[in-house]
Amino acid sequence: MIKTILITGGTGLIGKPLVKLLVQKGYKIHLLTRGEIRKNQSEGIREFKWDVYKREIDTDCIEGVDAVIHLAGEEIGSKRWTDGRKKQIVESRTESIRMIYDLMRKNKNQVNHVISASAVGYYGDRGNELLIETSLPSKDFLAETCIAWEEAVDEGEKLGVRIVKLRSGIVLDKKGGVLPQLDKPLKFGLGIIPGEGSQWVSWIHLQDAVSVYTYALENENMKGAYNMVAPEPVTLEHLSRSIAGSMKKSPLYLHIPKFALKVGIGEMSMMVLESTKASSEKLNRIGYNFEFADIEQATSEIYDS
């Protein structure tokens, strides 16, 4: 039975509510942080210092740990993709889990489960193709990042741990992620749609994302990669109109041409221009029931709460 969990990236969009839920469920949490260790730590949570770029980590963080949840990684869309930034994006995901595996080898502890984030960026721009976990990856930067990320996580197989990789779609929450960027112009009566708007968006409500991590942790029949996406992908224009409807707005819609986005934000434009239609069927088959399967249901809950 899992009792103690080491979590990387525990202060992020998914990490914060996940840590809260796991503590409520009675788990003990070891939380790796780059910031200062708080003097008054929350009950059920112990914080440990680390710095991936300096290859520093408090070795006590692994003591008594049964499972690792790996969420750490530099935010993809926060800065322009220079060569240096790209290196940070990849290494923050790959070298961080390798540091933990090094600790596991040295301490011969009893970690048996590793649940790791990944992303549907693995598949790249695939038009209307319905993508399953065995679909081939793309060759662009986002795909290469996901491939390197998953390969680093898979190194844990040599240590005999169960590995689950959750390829997340866009996580919907008005406090973070993509939604604040999409709903900001709506507040001023404009609906900004990158490109034609016909590109597919694989999405998941934050509450479901947190629940899927918990489900993967507690169901040992789960192994390998899973698309962590709602059962009904939508086009980007559909998503924008659903947000506007939930906000009770009737905006003027403006399409931003692809070339303008590429000039403005460079290679990062692929984040909003790629069409990725991922299937949730594998997750459905192992018994996960989505609380938010419909986009209108999801955006209504987000903007009504």
Report the C-alpha gap between 113 and 220 in whole angstroms: 9
Answer for the pair 276, 120: CB distance below 8 angstroms, yes or no: yes
pLDDT value, residue 244: 94
Q: Where are the domains of the chain?
A: 4-236+265-304
| Whole-angstrom distance, CA of residue 181 vs CA of residue 192 | 10
C-alpha 18/C-alpha 164 separation (Å) is: 16
The span from the CA of 17 to the CA of 175, in Å, is: 12
Low-confidence spans in the chain with pLDDT less than 70: 40, 305
- The pLDDT tens digits for 91-104 are 999 999 999 999 99
Q: Which of 38, 34, 97 is nearest to 68 (CA)?
A: 97
Question: What pLDDT, on the 0 to 100 scale, is given for residue 261?
Answer: 85
Could you report the per-residue pLDDT of 41-54, keeping only the tens digit for each?
A: 778 999 999 999 99
Query: What amino acid occupies position 28?
Result: K
What is d(CA 210, CA 13) in angstroms, rounded to the nearest whole number?
A: 10
Residue 40 has a pLDDT of: 67
Asked if residues 112 and 162 have their Cβ atoms less than 8 Å apart, the reply is yes
Residues 92, 34 contacting (CB under 8 angstroms): no
Both structure tokens of 113: 């489960």
Measured distance CA(128)–CA(277) in Å, rounded: 7
Beta-bridged to residue 171, according to DSSP, are 204
Q: Quick one: pLDDT at residue 169? A: 97
CATH superfamily of 4-236+265-304: NAD(P)-binding Rossmann-like Domain (3.40.50.720)
